[in-house]
Structure 1
């Protein structure tokens, strides 16, 4: 069967202050700001567009799993464990809220970090096969 959906093009993230959030993504994650107005900013990051959308206080993209644990809804990939460790160190130096590097029982290692609005993201040390080419 031919794959119908090719890739994720856009992710929407709730934020409190559009300008502050856009600057955070530029400064911390080297995102490129493409557009900004009073309700949203569009930044390019990790081969897709992220819409930073003004939302009510305490709104995040996170969710609670069946065990009551708050989870991320998005995993970024880096190319290998060395890149994972380097990014972990860089985010730590920049004062980002960050978790420990974890062994979750599958290939590679992961860690979780949060943006300035509390949106959680996962980072995995393994690239998807189509990006290894």
Structure 2
């Protein structure tokens, strides 16, 4: 029998200022800061550990697809449209940059938001099985 991957344990997110990024994730997203030094902060949110890593040259977790559109590398999930809209409203009240709710032609709807370092993240209104 072949061994298999079970889950994602940690996600690494590039940031330009560890102290400011950790404070932002705590205040805006409700993350809990578990550890911090000059190179990284480890925060817990959405049932996962995130390492906010000091990066060079304005690096972000984003990339461009073949059509030149900026893409996110991570999608968070909420349970239904009501939670999606509530979260979007809450983030706006906390002065987080958020995109419009989108119907992308598949089940559920999505919106994106940006952290203070320019990383873009997606939120989906459906829970994966």
How does the TM-score come out when normalised to structure 2? 0.96
Q: Which sections of structure 2, spanning at least 5 residues, go unmatched?
A: none
- Looking at structure 2, the residues matched to 3 and 100 of structure 1 have their Cα atoms a distance apart, in angstroms, of 41
- Find the aligned partners of 2:68 and 2:18 in 1 and give their Cα distance: 30
Equivalent position of 1:94 in the other structure? 94
Q: Does 1:123 align with 2:85?
A: no
Could you tell me which residue of structure 2 aligns to residue 31 of structure 1?
Answer: 31
* 1:2–1:86 distance in 2 versus 1, CA, 3 Å: farther
Once structures 1 and 2 are overlaid, which stretch shifts more, 101-110 or 50-59?
Answer: 50-59
TM superposition outliers: structure 1 runs of 4+ over 2 Å: none
Deviation at residue 2 of structure 1 after TM alignment: 7.1
Shift of 1:93: 1.0
**Matched residues in 2 for 1:3 and 1:88: separation?**
39
Please give the alpha-carbon distance, in whole angstroms, between the structure 2 residues aligned to 1:5 and 1:21: 30
Q: Normalized against structure 1, the TM-score is what?
A: 0.94
Aligned residues: 129
- Cα deviation 1:48-99 (Å, max 9, x = unaligned): 1000000113210000100001110000000110000000001111111110
CA shift digits 1:91-116 (9 cap, x unpaired): 11111111000000111100000100
Give unmatched runs, 5+ long, in structure 1.
none
* 1:68-107 paired onto structure 2 within 5 Å: 68-107=68-107
> 2:67 matched to which residue of 1?
67
* Alignment of structure 1 residues 34-49 onto 2, 5 Å: 34-49=34-49
